[in-house]
Structure 1
């Protein structure tokens, strides 16, 4: 038995979330927000926290600054049951932060990358690969050093017999430099959203994008927001699954990361891909019932109650 079901490798930052904003930002003008939340942010951290809340044994490898935000990140992960003993602290860079302007199901964000921009494969103690069954990586475009080493990391994991998942997330530069023909064969489960997949593959439609990745992908589960998700496997027809629709969305921050957490928490248990897809749909929907990426995942009892009361799904964690 390995000590970790899942090892999350990647970016760490805090989110300063502003809600109920009286209009869009304008240069030279000031707007009011009706609500503010300072919380653990970053795609990989939200994934790790929520996977741990769902019962997986999760460790984290990431770089933070020796500062107040770094302390908040570490303490927030530990409070969610994530092992932080492998975090890398630096006095050369500050911890990352994202300011989130939240507008219902959409948002605008400004990110300071800080320490997460410089962590590379060379910074990672290679012994961590022997301690986990699965590695999850996301937001590669926010992490240029990690992105440059992505193929090395995935290949090293493969050699160690470790399964992997990848969610590239949005590219702030909108260049979308991603060689899916080389990377996807090394990924066990690819977890893009619909829009990002089309941009990654320079496609006009989701069908075109799926056609381009299908010769290279092992498994992909494509997030399609309130519509649902699409399971793609090499040599098989794609399988669409409708969402669990929440008609009273608090916010959608971290919904994709929560989908990933649900999906991979089942994947490491050896569940069918169809069950992984369905549970991802459910955890993505659960995410939207509370503010922030981890608000709905306080503990197993809370998650089970939301699943039952809001979506009529009876789960046992």
Structure 2
């Protein structure tokens, strides 16, 4: 691809910001059922080119223009959680469709070469444009505009033969794909999330799909809307009657959960940090919860680790590329201003931090380049 002046177009740097991801996954699989060559988690869904404008005082009124000096670009959509999982050391496979345009080339290289996501099940059909989302981040929230054409391939067409994996992650805004049902029959745990219903009808068909799910991770607004309840706690109780493990994410208020398989109930506060960009925070939370589940942690530890990962991610303006690596997790524990009694709640994480990352401090933490140049 040539630049307008005939010179070669600049390529985004693809150095791995999480070189320790391989070492981080070893304690998870040591001596366990996942010590083979299978995946830890498999996903399928849409990937978007996210363009994130930050530092805005609000949305521009009609006929006006806002100028800001904050712009990030990163893989979005299902890539948010795929990147977050891979950075934690989970062997992550992704089935998606990516365009054969400039944005698609960037997304493919970033996911496969920089972030270590296995794209064996993904395709780049000729002439199909990569979906693009523009995110306007302001006042610790965001608004979005998306351009997307209909998918040329369905998830079941992409995944004719599902891989061996310890778990898979699905969105239950539609019936579960056949590959997910096949994987569950083979012993994989099915984790599920649900997005905003643009029709706001909140069909109860979604709740019926939970019969094929092992872990459900909605946010509080979604959970209350689908269950027709008035509080997150009421929604949690209603969902616990339908799915073995349910977590209700409450943003800055933390998360609450019930694990009916063990009888555990837990409530964990969010990490007390200043949020700069919440894009993808729920996906990073889910990645942390998947890791903790595969590690066999108690429910409270799973919630705390998920909150830790999400809290570290919102400190950056970069969407999926703001997901923490283990080096950042280690640096937070070593340099945080939180009181010792709060940091003690996270001591269970230490055995999973690669030894090379301990004691290095924040200067050793590298971050992925979030902006196309």
What is the TM-score of this pair, normalised by structure 2? 0.75
Map 1:75-224 onto structure 2 (within 5 A): 75-78=109-112, 79-91=114-126, 93-114=128-149, 117=151, 119-129=153-163, 131-138=164-171, 141=173, 147=174, 149-150=175-176, 152-224=178-250
Structure 2 runs not aligned, ≥5 long? 1-35, 355-373
Match among 87, 106, 127 for residue 53 of structure 1: 87
Task: Give the Å deviation of 1:193.
Answer: 0.8
Report the RMSD for the aligned CA atoms in angstroms.
Answer: 2.3
Q: Contact (CA 8 Å) 2:88, 2:291: kept in 1 or not?
A: yes
Please say if 1:9 is aligned against 2:44: yes
Alpha-carbon distance change, 288 to 298 in structure 1, aligned in 2, over 3 angstroms: closer
Alpha-carbon distance change, 60 to 101 in structure 1, aligned in 2, over 3 angstroms: same
2 CA distance for matches of 1:128 and 1:89?
19
Structure 1 runs not aligned, ≥5 long? 142-146
The 3-state SS of whatever aligns with 1:27 is coil
Task: Give the Å deviation of 1:61.
Answer: 0.8
2 CA distance for matches of 1:267 and 1:26?
45
Please say if 1:304 is aligned against 2:334: no
Alpha-carbon distance change, 175 to 118 in structure 1, aligned in 2, over 3 angstroms: farther
**Corresponding residue for residue 33 of structure 2:** none
Task: Give the Å deviation of 1:221.
Answer: 1.3
Please say if 1:63 is aligned against 2:97: yes
Q: Please identify the structure whose Cα radius of gyration is greater.
A: 2
Task: Give the Å deviation of 1:261.
Answer: 0.8
Map 1:235-250 onto structure 2 (within 5 A): 236=263, 238-246=265-273, 248-250=274-276
Deviations 1:22-61 (A, max 9, x none): 432222222222311111111x211111111111111111
Q: Contact (CA 8 Å) 2:155, 2:177: kept in 1 or not?
A: no
Q: How many residue pairs align between the two structures?
A: 306
2 CA distance for matches of 1:222 and 1:307?
26
The 3-state SS of whatever aligns with 1:71 is helix
Q: Contact (CA 8 Å) 2:93, 2:117: kept in 1 or not?
A: yes
Task: Give the Å deviation of 1:12.
Answer: 0.5
Q: Contact (CA 8 Å) 2:192, 2:217: kept in 1 or not?
A: yes
1 CA distance for matches of 2:102 and 2:204?
34
Q: Contact (CA 8 Å) 1:22, 1:32: kept in 2 or not?
A: no
Alpha-carbon distance change, 81 to 11 in structure 1, aligned in 2, over 3 angstroms: same
The 3-state SS of whatever aligns with 1:82 is coil
2 CA distance for matches of 1:91 and 1:203?
46
2 CA distance for matches of 1:241 and 1:303?
18
Q: Contact (CA 8 Å) 2:277, 2:318: kept in 1 or not?
A: yes
Q: Which has the higher strand share?
A: 1
